[in-house]
Amino acid sequence: MISMNLDRTHHVEDINASMKGQEVILGGWVEDLRKMGKMTFLTLRDVTGIIQIILTDDVMKSIEDITRQSVVRVTGKIQDTKARDFECEIKADGIDVLTKAVHPLPIDPIGRLESHIDNS
């Protein structure tokens, strides 16, 4: 189901490790998605930056068919992270897909794959 509610409490740039345990609502684009056993690591991007989201259990099951660059709203708590690229991460309590991106996209927005679009 597609929702249109993007009420958020913070932008990514506002989140830091001193806020550990605080409940937040973020909105943005799915930059990357990595399934690792019982957890999924989702990288969320908004206009201010990127942050790692941890999905487990029912939250993970609710987005099984999500695609990169889909727009989502994430509710969760700030926690410490072991990832070297992030100061902290969000453990998701819920995630709503606001708009699902067409997959595959005609180009890779993060530059991992070469596009074959004719520029002439």
Q: What is the pLDDT of residue 38?
A: 87
Range of the domain at 60: 12-99
Q: What is the CATH number of the domain that holds 68?
A: 2.40.50.140
80-110 confidence digits (pLDDT tens): 998 888 999 999 999 999 988 886 666 666 6
As for how many domains the chain has, the answer is 1
Q: What is the pTM of this model?
A: 0.79
Whether residue 115 lies inside any domain: the answer is no
Contacts of 27 (CB under 8 A, 6+ apart): 6, 8, 46, 71, 72, 73, 74, 98
Whether residue 1 lies inside any domain: the answer is no
Whether residue 76 lies inside any domain: the answer is yes
